[in-house]
Amino acid sequence: MKKILFPTDFSETSFNAFKYALELANFLKAEIQVLHIFESKTLSSSRLSPKTIDEFKENIELKEFEHFKSFGTKFRAIAEEIGRDDINFQYILEYGYLLPVVQKKIKEEGIDLVVMGTNNDKDFETSVLGSNTYNVILHTDVPTLCVPKIAVYKKIEKMVFSTAFSPKDVTALKYFIDLANDNDCEAKCVYVDYKNRKYDNLLNAWKTTFSKDNIEFVILKGDNPVKEVTDYIERENVGLLTTVKYNKTFFESIFTSSFTKKISNRVNIPLLVIHN
């Protein structure tokens, strides 16, 4: 069985993201590992003896465990709310810092996908996709689903893959097609022609490569690629947007306040970042 790692801080943003973790678990026939990571600034800055530190950690862990356990019914209620209470999930409590712990869990548990909620209401300088989510994307090698705070959960029925017809996108597109087709979702591969580039040969080559796959290639025209994609998402009622990790500018601009408020306020679906 495949495994999804879901780090949580028990915020409303993370509870919202959990709905999509459940949906993807249903897609992938996966189980979810709900991970809560705690740290103590008091402990890390103290000059206590090793024995005292161990005792202090035990007390903190006990309190965190009780706190974590109290949210178990909340996660189960969310699963029941959206009809995904048949999904298996387990709780993991870890002491440390988010990125190292996530990296360790990915390696130890054979994680296939990470799902994280993101806050897109901070300044660009202080939060790019939420610094934690952004660091996980940059420093891990599994797909990451980023669920913006403003996302309103809905069953995913139509998925979009944003491409520049780069050879780096081919492997990621194959993953995307399998994910969509295995779950009866419409799959769209979207290219924005905003500099009047000659793309006909590239498009024809990709159509030939993926001729046996159930996917539609869509060409959008406009001066602003991000605006064209977000307009398309809204117009076509898309439930999931996918991009590739190297395409840094695109996924930064689509989920941060550096992008115009008019557009960012309309982006209310998750972003799946696949590694090329």
pLDDT tens-digit profile of 21-47?
999 999 889 999 999 887 654 444 445
Ranked by mean pLDDT, which of 70-84, 119-133, 249-263 comes out on top?
Answer: 70-84
User: Which residue, 99, 117, 148, sits at the end of a domain?
Assistant: 148
| Per-position DSSP letters for 109-165, written without gaps between them | HT--EEEEEE---S-TTT-SS-HHHHHHHHH-SS-EEEEETT-------EEEEEE--
Among 103, 135, 109, 93, which residue's Cα sits nearest to residue 9?
93
Residue 120 sits in the same domain as residue 250: no
User: The CATH number of the domain where 44 resides is what?
Assistant: 3.40.50.620
Q: What is the mean pLDDT of the chain?
A: 80
Residue 185 sits in the same domain as residue 142: no
Residue 176 sits in the same domain as residue 194: yes
Residue 137 sits in the same domain as residue 205: no
Using a pLDDT cut of 90, give the percent of the chain over it: 37
Residue with the larger pLDDT of the pair 130 and 80: 80
Whether 153 maps to a domain, the answer reads no
Whether 238 maps to a domain, the answer reads yes
User: Which residue, 102, 121, 148, sits at the end of a domain?
Assistant: 148
Place of tokens 């000059």: 47
Count of domains for the chain: 2
Residue 62 sits in the same domain as residue 166: no
Residue 119 sits in the same domain as residue 168: no
pLDDT of residue 7: 93
For residue 211, the enclosing domain spans 158-274
78-97 pLDDT, tens digit per residue, is 999 999 999 998 888 888 88
∠ Cα 117 118 119 (to 5°): 135
Residue 7 sits in the same domain as residue 137: yes
For residue 52, CA distances in Å to 58, 77, 95 come to 10, 39, 16
